[in-house]
Every structure is written in structure tokens, then in C-alpha cells.
Amino acid sequence: MTAEERYTGILDWFSRNMQDAQTELHYDSVFHLLIAVILSAQCTDKRVNMHTPEIFKKYPSPESLASADIEDVAENIKSITFPNSKARHLVGMARMLIDKFSGEVPSDPSELVKLPGVGRKTANVIASVVYNRPVIAVDTHVFRVARRLGLSEGKTVEAVEKDLTGSIAPEMRPKAHHWLILHGRYVCTARKPSCEGCEISRWCKSYETGTDCSKA
């Protein structure tokens, strides 16, 4: 089976069966989504969602977060991974939003990555989720699933992103990002992939070749 055939079959199945796929992070504004995505680095969405309501209430705007004490912010996110560094990033991000972007979260990934705590993945999440930009954020789930399915043989996040972007139509990329994340989170998991119950296994390169994904 060719890579093109895999893309066609997999994307068609997702488009028919996961039309409502979207981020599982809770948010009520672009600014708050940016906070949530920064907090979600090496942390589960579920844990982040447990704490963001209070965080959003305390820091409703870039101005309120920019003027906050970093130690206070760290205390508010102490149950989330790496609270000290994330607190510095959050306050720095808010200050830069005010100083460089008039308090508005930019839509261009090349501008977003200038913000403290915002890497390429985070920038692409914001750009695709909020602004529907034709980009794909490659996190650990997307990286793992794309390689297992045979959608990419890239050995780096950048290489996988390039393959996915080059093979998925622009208008489909924002949705495809969520399809692959959710598939990796609930079906094609890191240690115990549910291959026998997987609806797209017929197009999966690892399943076709009998690869033991749990050891990959």
C-alpha cells in the first residue's frame, strides 16, 4: 500500500467518523487558550482543565497576568508540571503581548513563537484552533501515530510536520491535527495500542507489517 493510499483511507475515515473533533483543553478566550496550551506541556489536558477555571478567574486579561508576581503564579499552578518555569513563561508571555502585540494574541505562528513559553507546537495549536490556519501541531501523540500509521518516516518533529503538511490539504489540516491527537490519546496509545479494535488498522503500516508498536 502506498503512502498516498494510506492518507486517502485514513483521512476519509476520520472525516466521516470524527467530524466534531476539537481540542480537549477548556478555554473561554484566545488568551486563556494560550495559557492552557503553555500549561499542558508535559502535562495532561485533564489535569490542566482541573486548574484553569481558577487561573482564568484570577488572570482574565494579559494586563492582570503581566502585573502578577511570578511566585504567586507558580503557587496557583503548583499541581501542574514545572510550575516555576511555566510561571515565568506565563508572566513573560503576558508582558510581551502588551509590549509587542497591543495585548492581542497574534495569529501568525512566526509571531507566536516569539512569546516566552511558546514553541512551534504551541504556536501551531493556537493558529489552527483559533484562527483556522492551515498548520499542523505535532506533539508526542501526532508524532507517534503518524509514524506508526505510515504517514511519515520522519525522525524528528519537524520532519513529521513537513510530511503531514505536504500530504494533507490546507483546509483539512486543523481537523487532522485533532484526529491524530485523539487517536493517539485513546486508541493508538504509547504502550498498549488497541490495534484489534482500531477502525483504521486496514491502512496502518505497522499493523500491516506486524510491528510491535508497544516496543517502538
Which residues does the annotation mark as catalytic? 121, 139
Q: Which amino acid appears at position 203 of this protein?
A: W
Q: Which amino acid appears at position 82 of this protein?
A: F
- Residues with Cβ < 8 Å from 15, sequence gap 6 or more? 172, 175
Q: All 3 cell numbers of residue 92? A: 513573560
Q: Which amino acid appears at position 135 of this protein?
A: V
Answer whether 129's CB lies under 8 Å from 23's CB.
Answer: yes
Rounded Cα–Cα distance for residues 133 and 112 (Å): 13
